[in-house]
Amino acid sequence: MSATAIDVLALMAGNQTGILSSHLAVAGSGGQPVYPWLNGPAGLLAEMKNAAGWPADIYQWDANWIYNTATEVDDNATDYNNPKTYRQMASSSTASGGYIWMPRFYTQGSPEVLIQTPDSSYVEYLNGVAQPKQNLGGPVITGFSGPWNDTDFGGDIGQQPYYLQRYLYNPAFASQEQNCYIPNLGRVRWQMFNAIKGIYTLAQTALFNTRVSGPCPKLSWVPA
Largest CA distance in the chain: 47
Q: Where are the alpha helices (DSSP H) in the chain?
A: 8-13, 77-80
Which pLDDT does position 37 carry in this prediction?
97
Euclidean distance between CA atoms 133 and 124, whole angstroms: 7
Name the band, by pLDDT with cuts 50, 70 and 90, for residue 22.
very high
Which pLDDT does position 41 carry in this prediction?
85
What pTM value is reported for the model? 0.95
Mean pLDDT of 63-88: 97
1 pLDDT higher than 60: no
Q: What percentage of the chain carries pLDDT values higher than 70?
A: 99
Mean pLDDT of 93-111: 97
The CA-based angle 37-39-212, given to 5 degrees, is 15
Name the band, by pLDDT with cuts 50, 70 and 90, for residue 224.
confident
CB–CB of 97/69 below 8 Å? yes
CB–CB of 194/203 below 8 Å? yes
Which pLDDT does position 90 carry in this prediction?
98
